[in-house]
Amino acid sequence: MGVWYKKYLQVYERPFAEAPQAVVEEVRQKIAGLQSENPVVTVSLIGYNEEKHLLACLWSLSEMQCKYPVEIIGVDNESKDRTAEIFRACGVPYYTETQHSCGFARLCGLNHARGKYHINIDSDTMYPPKYVETMVDALERPGVVGVSSLWSYIPDEEHSRWGLKLYEATRDLHLWLQSFKRPELSVRGLVFAYHTDLARKTGIRTDIIRGEDGYLALQLKQFGKIAFVRKRRARAVTGYGTVGADGSLFNSFKVRVVNGLRGIGGLFTKKKEYKDEESNLVKKK
């Protein structure tokens, strides 16, 4: 994993009060220079109480290198901290979504998107310079209606660097194999992009806590292919919110391996349903 994100760590996991004003002004100017009145792609960031992460995310996005016209917008899921203030300080147009969930927040971003393509961005994640361009390149291919990529975790003192590498390599392999027949199960909202108009036709589920991204991918499959990008320039870097849900890194690894083995037969069959891991609801196309 490269160190392209190293400088952004100086404001990651830190309150906005500690952010250097020079950084805030730099981000503001660079984002203003990126914003297009006729965007091909809309990048929408969703955030709920992401004060300690949002500036780092915006800083990474402000340095994107993209040949396509872009607009960057935000969705504040009615945060109690300074999330909305950071959007304003960085000059990012944002909308307040009062109904709380990733589904409601992503739907709000989709409804306000002006671009042909819509890219979901999580505020606690940092994205490499060519991320947006690489995702749109994939969406420009004939027959592709959605695209998902991969992500890494920020190394720290609590997680072994080699343990992370093993975990990520195994997870990546499983997601890649799964993507051939069941791409909706390999999609994650922090690294997902799709055709705006098609997503508006299907909508985004708001009745589940997690899984709205995979269900959207399942619905989009009726229109074309969900591509899977493994290029390093499309690999995001994030914290431990998802991997920490099962406890230690080892336990998280074990849980995912066991679940993967249970469903290994599904890697080679196409199904017309998506099971949400939180609500256990099974929805069909």
- Which H/E stretch holds residue 256? helix 249-262
Q: What is the Cα–Cα distance from 206 to 210, expressed in whole angstroms?
A: 9
> Do 233 and 131 touch, CB atoms closer than 8 A?
yes
∠ CA(173), CA(185), CA(172), 5° rounding? Answer: 15
Per-residue pLDDT, 254: 58
Q: What is the Cα–Cα distance from 62 to 90, expressed in whole angstroms?
A: 10
> Do 261 and 267 touch, CB atoms closer than 8 A?
no
User: Which residues does residue 72 pair with via DSSP β-bridges, in sequence order?
Assistant: 43
User: Is the pLDDT score of 119 beyond 70?
Assistant: yes
Q: What is the Cα–Cα distance from 34 to 69, expressed in whole angstroms?
A: 8
User: Is the pLDDT score of 2 beyond 80?
Assistant: no
Q: What is the pLDDT of residues 221-276, one digit of tens each?
A: 999 999 999 999 999 999 886 555 444 555 655 565 565 555 555 544 555 555 54
Which tokens in the block code for residue 164?
Answer: 């992370």
Per-residue pLDDT, 3: 85
Give the mean model confidence (pLDDT) for residues 170-198. Answer: 95
More confident site: 77 or 253? 77
Give the mean model confidence (pLDDT) for residues 35-40. Answer: 98
SS3 call for 243: helix
> Do 83 and 51 touch, CB atoms closer than 8 A?
yes
User: Is the pLDDT score of 214 beyond 80?
Assistant: yes
Q: What is the Cα–Cα distance from 123 to 53, expressed in whole angstroms?
A: 6
pTM above 0.95, yes or no: no
From 52-56, 160-164, 196-200, the region with the lowest mean pLDDT: 160-164
User: Which residues does residue 75 pair with via DSSP β-bridges, in sequence order?
Assistant: 46, 95
